[in-house]
Amino acid sequence: MHAVSYAEARRNLEAMIDKVVADRAPLAITRDRAEGAVLISASEWAEIERICAGGARPVAKIL
């Protein structure tokens, strides 16, 4: 996972959001004195919520 500083994220937020959405890849945002965060696309978040809610097919059925 690619990581950027909080300062860089503030300077380039729109471009970073566009990249996260286009690549469907998360972006870690780090901070010096506090816990960081991870930026993901809305569609990736919806998929995580669906899986956590039990909407994912069991692996055995996929295979």
pLDDT band, very low/low/confident/very high, at 56 (cuts 50, 70, 90): low
CATH 3.40.1620.10 at 2-62, yes or no: yes
Instruction: Name the residue ranges covered by the structural domains of the chain.
Output: 2-62
Does the pLDDT at position 60 exceed 60? no
Query: How much is the mean pLDDT over the chain?
Result: 90
Task: Please report, rounded to a whole number, the percentage of residues in the chain having pLDDT higher than 70.
Answer: 86
User: If you compute the radius of gyration of the chain from its CA atoms, what whole number of angstroms results?
Assistant: 15
Contact indicator for 17, 27 with CB cutoff of 8 Å: no
DSSP E strands, the chain = 2-5, 27-30, 37-39
Does the pLDDT at position 16 exceed 80? yes
Output the CA torsion sign for 16, 29, 51, 59.
positive
Distance between CA atoms of residues 51 and 58, nearest Å: 10
Task: Give residue-wise pLDDT tens across range 25-50.
Answer: 999 999 999 999 999 999 999 999 99
